[in-house]
Amino acid sequence: MEPKKTFSRSGHSPRPARTASASRPRTGSYSSSKPRTSSHSGSSPRSFSARPPLGRSFNASRGGSSKGGGKRGARKGQHIDISKFINKTVITEEAVVFTPEHMFKDFIIDERLKANILAKGYNLPTPIQDRVIPHILHGHDLVGIANTGTGKTAAFLVPLIDKIMKNPKEKVIVMAPTRELAQQIEMELKGFVKGFKIFSVCCVGGVGIGRQISDLRYQHNFVIGTPGRIKDLIERKCINLADFKSVVLDEADRMLDMGFIHDMRYMLALMPKERHTLFFSATLSPEIAALIKDFLKEPVMVSVKTQDTAKNVEQDVVRLKAGEDKLEVLHDLLIDPEFKKVIIFGRTKHGVEKLTVALSKKGFKAQSIHGDKNQGQRQRALDTFKKGMAQILVATDVAARGLDISGVSHVINYDIPETYDDYVHRIGRTGRAGQKGKALTFI
């Protein structure tokens, strides 16, 4: 076994100058089990002390702050055992290769759609796509349980686009928990329907509602949005759900978690009883089960979820000694060239913005996303990060789901998440599409 690699500040390339005025966040209460030293040479993965204090677990809600990102009801934090943040790769096992039953060219869909799919480089479907597309094509109600980053957006878009190509009067409504996820779904939709006369309207908060009201007056087959904004447009009589015979609830568990349960029930009740209903979720909670029972008709249940976190994401903790400056520890990580493209998660909107400013003062190119920014600001920050013009994206859990950004090398939990589900979705931003990724949690 390769010996652990440790860190010291010597041997690094010149780092950005420290600024005395930079804010100094509160350090953690758990001490390091050994001094943190660094070395810059070699390519073996970084290792941190992983032995948790005996008999202790973290209360993730400690601090009492509500989480940013437009949540409609505060959740109680849960105890998360430190060992859940650790998944070191010691022995690499040969992964079982998934062999799909279908290829995209085999699906019985419109040839023009098939050509667009193949042009996007999609040949072999992912497990969730392989399993659910045939059921959706046959018009079955469906519950899909899958981890984040498994390709479920294409799993429901492809058969629903085919349905519209067969019947141009068909309308589909897609509900998603966050603005970013809704916009990402629409972006993927546009790639599939390029050259077709299939139109969509993205209905999310954070931007003026006037443009959305105007767009809804024109021909459209898809409405994609967040529950709050969609409900607002329904109440303004800009959307008539009686016209929609297909509905997708993506990340249904997250929508429940954000307090959208009543909005979801309200909207489903307004839709025709004879409809096509698709639920996608990473977990199957009692609340989700109750919605399924009330609103789906003999649904097909498809689960391709194998474990909570991806095996290709190496997980570890960063221990803070008593009195150690948390910001300086973060600084010493980020100056390592290994940390090429990093998403840092904080718990509160204020804390995220404060950390972004502090990192910028230290010379890092950092952008932030949180609920106090309007949609234009959030999109600009996201585009800057995606294009590699910023090394760091600092975010609340508004970005924990729905962001599909290629090449994220590391996810850092600067603040411990409120729930283990939040942790799972945070670290799902790295190690996507079979790539390797690393996740570090400050304790």
Domain holding 261: CATH number?
A: 3.40.50.300
Burial class of residue 314 (count of CB atoms within 10 Å of its CB; 0-12, 13-18, 19+): buried
Q: Does residue 299 form part of some domain?
A: yes
285 and 193 together in one domain? yes
- 252, 284, 303 - which closes a domain: 303
- Do 299 and 380 belong to one domain? no
Asked if the structure places residue 41 within a domain, the reply is no
- Are 295 and 336 within one domain? no
233 and 136, same domain (yes or no): yes
Domain tally, the chain: 2
CA-nearest of 293, 328, 173, 301 to 238 is 173
> Is there a single domain that holds both residue 254 and residue 336?
no
Domain annotation covers residue 328 = yes
Domain limit, last residue, from 255, 286, 303: 303
Closest CA to 274 of 247, 240, 239, 302: 247
Tens-digit pLDDT profile for residues 383-417:
999 899 999 999 998 766 667 788 899 999 999 98
| Whole-number pLDDT of residue 88 | 54
In a domain, 156, yes or no: yes
Instruction: Note whether 82 and 133 are same-domain residues.
Output: no
Pairing mode, strands 437-442 and 313-318: parallel
Q: Are residues 127 and 244 in the same domain?
A: yes
Going through 41-165 in order, the beta strands assigned E by DSSP cover 58-59, 79-80, 142-145
| Residue 97 host element (H or E) | none
- How many CB atoms are closer than 10 A to CB 384? 15
Task: Decide if 198 is inside a domain.
Answer: yes
- Within 112-220, strands assigned E span 142-145, 172-175, 200-203
Is the domain of 198 the same as that of 248? yes
From the list 432, 400, 208, the residue with the least C-alpha distance to 313 is 432
On the question of pLDDT at 13 being above 70, the answer is: no
User: What is the reported pLDDT for 151?
Assistant: 86
Q: Is the dihedral of CA 236, 188, 281, 110 positive or negative?
A: positive
Residue 110 has pLDDT above 50, yes or no: yes
Give the number of other Cβ atoms within 10 Å of residue 296's Cβ.
20
User: By mean pLDDT, which of 58-62, 229-233, 341-345 is the weakest?
Assistant: 58-62
Residue 150 sits in which domain range?
A: 104-303
Edge-first strand order for the sheet with 300-303 is 200-203, 222-225, 172-175, 246-249, 276-281, 142-145, 300-303
Is 133 inside any structural domain? yes
The whole-angstrom separation of Cα 287 and Cα 332 is 43
Give domain status of residue 369, yes or no: yes
Check pLDDT > 90 for residue 336.
yes
Same structural domain, 185 and 299: yes
Q: Please state at what angle helix 111-119 crosses helix 179-192, rounded to 10 degrees.
A: 110
Residue 352's H or E segment, with its range, is: helix 349-361
Q: What is the band of 96 on the pLDDT scale with cuts at 50, 70, 90?
A: very low
Q: Is residue 260 located within the same domain as residue 139?
A: yes
Same domain, residue pair 234 and 356: no
- For the chain, give the mean pLDDT: 80
Is 125 inside any structural domain? yes
- In this structure, are 138 and 287 located in the same domain? yes
Q: Domain end: 263, 286, 303, which one? A: 303
Could you tell me the maximum CA-CA distance found in the chain, to the nearest angstrom? 67
Residues 266-319 have pLDDT tens digits of 999 999 999 999 999 888 888 888 889 999 999 999 988 655 556 778 889 999
> Does the structure show a pLDDT above 90 at 158?
yes
The yes-or-no verdict on residue 16 having pLDDT over 50 is no
* pTM exceeds 0.75: no
